[in-house]
Each structure stands twice: as C-alpha cells, then as structure tokens.
Structure 1
C-alpha cells in the first residue's frame, strides 16, 4: 500500500469545544490543521492539552477560509455543533443560532472542499419530521457540491462510553466514496456502568462506602447535559435525568468541588444530603475523556465544556470508519 495511505490524514474541526471529537479523530489518525471555537475557555482547554494544535478563537459565522489556506482540501471537516432545537427547525427564524451555525458549516464546504464531512448533533435531527427543512437544505447544498451523504444514529454506550447518549450523525463524501462507508458497529461487550467507571475515584480520598455505592450504580449514566452558557450553575441535566441519578444515589442537582472523604455519610434517610455529587473530572470520565485531559476555567465553565462535548471514543469509532471509506488503514 502507498505510504500516503498509511500515514495520518488532515482535518478541520469547527465548534471544537473541549476537544472530544478532535481527540477521538486524532486517535483514529486525523491530525487537525486548525481547530475553531468561539469560547475562550474551550480554546484554552485545547491549547492546554495539545499546545501544538492550531487553535483559533472566533465565531464560525465570521470564519473565512481565505485567511487560513491550510484548511483547503483537508481530508475531513468535522463539527460537533450546538444542539439544534425542533422549534427552530420548524420556524427557521434568523435568530436561531443553532440553525445558522449548521448552515454555516455546510456553506464552509464550498470554500474548504474536504474529501469528507462529519457533523454530530441531536438524534432527532436524523429522522423527526420537525427537522425536515434542515435535512432538505443539507441535501440540496451537498448534492450541488458533488457530495453524497448519509444520516444515522448511534449510542455512545455501544462504543465504550459509560453513558446512554444517543447522537445524530451526518457523514458525506465527495463523489462515490459514500459507497465505502460502513457505520461503526456496536460493541459486543455489555455497557460500562457508572459504578465500574467511577468506583476507583470515589475511593480515592478514603470514602469507606465506595464499593457499596459502585455496586448499586449498576447502569450506564443518563445523558449528561451541559446546559446554557448564559444562565444557571452546573448540574447533571433536567428533572428526568436527576431522578435517574437519584436512583444511583447521586445528587444530580449540583457538581462537587471534591471527591467524598472518610466523613461523607452513606445514609439513605438523608435524601440528597446522603447522595454523592460528581466532580467535573468524574463527569469527564463518563464522557470517555482520558484521565489526563484537563479543562480550563472555573467549575461551571469546565462542566459546561464536558457536558457539551462529543465523547472521544465515539469520535474515534467514526474517524476509523471515515478513514476506511477514504481508503486508508485504521
């Protein structure tokens, strides 16, 4: 096989966030020529973990590839976009930021002309009628540019992530390369539970009930939700998610500053006061981030980055599938 087919491929990551998707793609053999995000904390996180990455802090709507010619003809344009809301999909109002960002990503295809496109978003985007205007727009633009595409849904817990997190995925390839694409196949192993993922960290400061807690936290985590960047503190998600967390004796209404110590109680009669809260680092483990991946900013900003991230193991699985479709060994 030719040397070029054995080496790493190039990628452009927009809305890169804390780097979950980019990290997974790196593990699959994609080197980013540029990573783009409009939040200072996220950009600092990227630089903190990968000092050599070319990180640009700007809004995607203001990004012009003419000023960054290293992005031309990359192998992959990858985007973990802000979650599109169904109400915006129906109305398509100019004020709907998520729609504008998705459209800007598709329009970026005109200038960059990548060999492949990867967009990750909400699972409903794939098939629900409310999102049909967006899918029609994507189809029209991609076909005009000579790309063929496919929508599908995968669940992070089927790919080594201890979290029930469904993700809607769009892949597109120039020409007929879509015929080579095979979506990642779910693992045959049982999903990793919260207890298995976090037992060691719960015991790290000498909490004597870590094993008992881990034994009853015997299911994958519900979907972590980053929440709004503009209001509120850090918590693990909406009311339904908090109820699921409570069944595992986790207080989903907050994020802890530190792990439980020897004095922390294990008393079910205390309600939320007898429940552990997760730290940002523990939430990151439930997203599949490696232990050495650091997050910049204060606690709420750090948790927001974690909750909004695409799990790296999913990025790796998708990257390997895209790499194979492009004719390169994984």
Structure 2
C-alpha cells in the first residue's frame, strides 16, 4: 500500500466526538472528517455548527458528517460502508468505566466502548487508530484489560502503543492527564513518533484569563491575575447523572481556592466593576464557560488579539444552556493535544522521516499473569503461576498474583478448578466487555440509563 500523497487531506471517522475538541485538533493537523458520531444532541449541534462556521464545511456536508445517536447502533451508521478505506479511526470513548472518581466497573459499565472500538478497528481496518481516555485506564486494575487490547490489535495487524500525556506539556493551562492509545498498520508504524512535549509552555491561570476577568471593567483583575499562579487543576465535565456545573470534587475546589477562584459554580458573566464577592479576605470570582473553554485549550488572548486564522486558531462556539455548555467543554479533549497527536499520525501515514525499529506489541507485557493464563493449556494454581513467572524472570509474590487474579475476574470469565488436594487452579475464559454482541447486557443497561449517559 503506497503512502498517502503529501498535502492530500486525510480522512477520519470520529466516534464519541463530543463537542469537537478532538475534531478541531485533528482538522488543524490536516484531517478531514468523513463522519463524526455523538450521542448528546447539544454537543452534536455544537459540532455541526462549527464545522460550517470555523472549518469551512458546506451546510449539507456538515449535516451528513455529524450523526446523532449510539455509536454502536447500526441504525446510526454502517461502518462497513462509512469507514471503508479509512485513514484514521479516532475517538474519546466514555471515561466513567475507568475513572478513579467513579466505580471503575470496566467491562461491567454500560458506557464501556473501548473494547468495541478495538474490534471495530479490526473489522474496518483503518490505517491508524487513536483512542484517548482518563489516567485511570493506566492503573493496575486494568492491566489485563490493556493486555487484551494490545493482543487483539496485534492479531488485527497493528502495532500499538500506550502513552500517558499531560495537557500542560502541549501549552494547555491545566494538568489533565490523558491515557492515549495509538495503533498503526505495520507499514506505517515505523514512521510514528509521539509528539514532542514542551514542559513549561503553559501559561498560568491568571495570565491566561486576565483579559476575560477584566472585560466588564473589574479593576482588580490584574491583581487577581498576579496571584493566580500556576496551571489549573483538571477541568471536570461530569455527567448527566450529577447536578449543575461546578469545578470538580473537593480536592479540585481547594486547588481553585488557592488561585482565588470560587469553584462552587460557573458564572454567567465576568465580574462587574465592583468586583466579585470577597471570601476569606480576598476577591474570589467564579469562572465563566468562556474562561473554562480557554483553560481547556480553546483560543487564548494572544491568538484572539492577532486575529489568528491559521492552523493554530482554536476558536469554537458552544450551543446550549450553561450547564450543557460547561459539560461539553469539560468532557472535551484539548484541541492542542489532539492536533499534536494528529500531526504525528499524519506524518506516519505520509511516511515522513526515517523509519524506526519497532518493538513488537506481542512482546509488551502489561499483565504477566494474564499472559501466562491465556497461553497455558491447563489451569494453573497460584503456586504454579509464581514458579512459572519466576522462571521467566518476572518474579511475583503470592499477594501480588492473587491481586492480579482478582482484577482479572472483573473483566474476564475466570474458570476455577478445585483439585483433589483442595488447591484451586485458574484459567481465563471469555472477555466480558461489549464488542458488538447482540445478547450483551450492555443493550438493556444502555436503554435503561440512556437519558443520563453523557
């Protein structure tokens, strides 16, 4: 298969597109959206309007390109046709199944679409795959899940890598760690390099927001900005299961208070001339959705002042009421991070640079207990697992092996056999995740909770 012609727009299908943070970043990286699918109607409307207003799509093309509904519903789109001969399959599949703030239900969560997306990739065979999620997916709890993903992508013909990326390393003024999976067909994988990080490139919260804080004439905006040092804590969009907009859990609220921000809600507008309420001896304004959008990586004051209409122009207009807009912004993938990843993938597909030596994903082990049980022809006891791991140089004690087994039980059918001497032996059965099965529990749970899923 020849490399993509340089300069030619690459085509992407984006699943779980949200309000378009990843969409905008990928467009700025040189990708054109053949299709974007999103469950939430307000987010889809934001996406559709901005394709026309800021990205130059014709109205009819934008209407066809944005589909609203469950991405796993064949009535919404037909991957075999809509994703045929595709350059990139991308998406930010729902994060609650893996979020530390949630119950980390993994495959038992009706919102889990990660495994489904991996199987979709195997079926439609795009040249590249990009999926992002929360840092929780990198935890030991999901080591077996990640191992299964790598193994399946290897079987589908891809070279895959995980990386934990910090948004502030790409100029975004907040922590926002995201766990990113990139997979490419073997022809293109040697040309992929993770985007260069730029530590220290992000502005402080005060420097980033001072013009927005002052837009209604608040004379104390500059003094506030000088005290609002450092980058922001992670913006938390939340879900429809919870109430209105605020800036996150207790720890995040404390971090915001240190920067002189009232995190108990989101304001309709910037502080008035008289200033915001004084709390504990200092002015403490609330953020507006425009401020939150800027923290999330949409256009900052410098670009706005320059009237930037280049590939670094990250303007976007959000549709809906305040709580919906805040949720759309808070759940988005920061556009500058998406752009950086998009450029790296585009370069790989165009075979830019010298190819690197690949580390086969089959040799990458995220969960040695999973790999051992999956490859064993017979059930193994804990002692046998310990002995075999030790012989292979992966020493592990009894408590750690038992912890791995307990984690695996959440996401896989664990078959147990009690031997005549009373010792229990284990083997791994089916993966519990939804991968498109007609009879999976996901369908009933999704129908029951659809109005609260975001």
TM-score, normalising length from structure 2? 0.67
The one of 48, 57, 61 equivalent to 2:72 is 61
Question: How far apart, in 2, do the equivalents of 1:285 and 1:86 lie?
Answer: 24
Q: In the alignment, which residue of structure 2 is the partner of 1:198?
A: 209
Cα-Cα RMSD:
2.4
1:104 offset after TM fit, Å?
Answer: 1.8
Paired residues in the alignment total: 325
Structure 1 residues 308 and 63, CA, compared in 2 at 3 Å: closer, same or farther? farther
Question: How far apart, in 2, do the equivalents of 1:73 and 1:175 lie?
Answer: 16
Q: In the alignment, which residue of structure 1 is the partner of 2:91?
A: 79
1:318 is the counterpart of 2:319: no
Q: In the alignment, which residue of structure 1 is the partner of 2:47?
A: 46
Contact 2:39 2:68 in 1 (8 A): yes
Q: In the alignment, which residue of structure 2 is the partner of 1:307?
A: 330
Structure 1 residues 89 and 63, CA, compared in 2 at 3 Å: closer, same or farther? farther
Q: In the alignment, which residue of structure 2 is the partner of 1:283?
A: 292
Q: Secondary structure at the match of 1:60?
A: coil
Could you list the per-position Cα deviations for residues 207-232 of structure 1 after superposition, in whole angstroms to 9, with x for gaps in the alignment? 00110011011111100000122221
The one of 102, 117, 123 equivalent to 2:114 is 102
1:213 is the counterpart of 2:216: no
Q: Secondary structure at the match of 2:72?
A: helix
Q: Which consecutive residues of structure 2, in runs of 5 or more, have no partner in the other structure? A: 305-314, 354-454
Q: In the alignment, which residue of structure 2 is the partner of 1:28?
A: 29
Q: In the alignment, which residue of structure 2 is the partner of 1:10?
A: 11
Question: How far apart, in 2, do the equivalents of 1:22 and 1:328 lie?
Answer: 23
1:256 is the counterpart of 2:267: yes
Alignment of 1:105-120 (within 5 A): 105-120=117-132
Q: Secondary structure at the match of 2:78?
A: helix
Could you list the per-position Cα deviations for residues 262-318 of structure 1 after superposition, in whole angstroms to 9, with x for gaps in the alignment? 0224745457xx410001111000011137411111110110010000000000000
Q: Which consecutive residues of structure 1, in runs of 5 or more, have no partner in the other structure? A: none
Structure 1 residues 45 and 328, CA, compared in 2 at 3 Å: closer, same or farther? farther
Structure 1 residues 218 and 300, CA, compared in 2 at 3 Å: closer, same or farther? same
Contact 2:98 2:136 in 1 (8 A): no
Contact 2:99 2:135 in 1 (8 A): no
Structure 1 residues 67 and 268, CA, compared in 2 at 3 Å: closer, same or farther? closer
Alignment of 1:81-230 (within 5 A): 81-83=93-95, 84-85=97-98, 92-94=106-108, 96-99=109-112, 101-126=113-138, 128-187=139-198, 189-230=200-241
Structure 1 residues 285 and 329, CA, compared in 2 at 3 Å: closer, same or farther? farther
Structure possessing the higher radius of gyration over alpha carbons = 2
1:178 offset after TM fit, Å?
Answer: 2.1
Question: How far apart, in 1, do the equivalents of 2:9 and 2:103 lie?
Answer: 37
Contact 1:159 1:186 in 2 (8 A): yes
Question: How far apart, in 1, do the equivalents of 2:213 and 2:190 lie?
Answer: 46
Q: Secondary structure at the match of 2:111?
A: helix
